[in-house]
Amino acid sequence: MNVIPNNSYQATVASNQDKLHQSNAVPSLPDTLRQQEGGAVPLSSQIGNKHPLETRISEWDQTQRDRQLEQYRQIFGIAEPMKRVMELEIIEKTDFNPLNSASSIHKDILLNKDTSIDWEDIYKNNGTTGVSSSNMVNNDIHTQIENKLQL
């Protein structure tokens, strides 16, 4: 049991410091206007610099895929999900792409995405978050021709 406070203990309240809690003795609200962080921001997003739902959304496809494979296992037995996983691995290792698109039609069929249109189908993703530079306004086909011909 600590009876004597440690050296970092603050006995006064100062609202002009850039801390969340200005005093250990008197808990106070941070001055959001002086911190200029855009208002009330959750502590979890300040620590991880991400929204709490961002990890769930980024893992959404894998979660749906795991659920689908588990349903296949319950209905058809272990052979069906194993076959689908092996076929998907073979397609991912293959560089055959007859339509020369960003996604493989074979992979779309195995993932049951062949009849759906997502925003990734229209705005090609370059592996990072957000839209790739090939779909930006200043990088259309006319700009590419001008850059190639140095006009």
151 pLDDT above the threshold of 60: yes
Structure tokens at 59: 């893992």
Q: Is the dihedral of CA 40, 42, 46, 51 positive or negative?
A: negative
pLDDT digits (tens, 9 = 90+) for 41-95: 566 556 666 666 777 788 888 899 999 999 999 999 999 999 999 999 999 888 7
- Quickly state the pLDDT bin for 128 (edges 50, 70, 90): very low
Q: Which amino acid is at 67?
A: R
- Quickly state the pLDDT bin for 132 (edges 50, 70, 90): very low
Cβ proximity of 140 and 146 under 8 Å: no
pLDDT, residue 57, reads 82
Task: Indicate the burial class of 22 (C-beta count within 10 angstroms; 0-12, 13-18, 19 or more).
Answer: buried
Rounded to an integer, what distance in angstroms lies between the CA atom of residue 19 and that of residue 4?
A: 23
pLDDT, residue 121, reads 73
- Quickly state the pLDDT bin for 130 (edges 50, 70, 90): very low
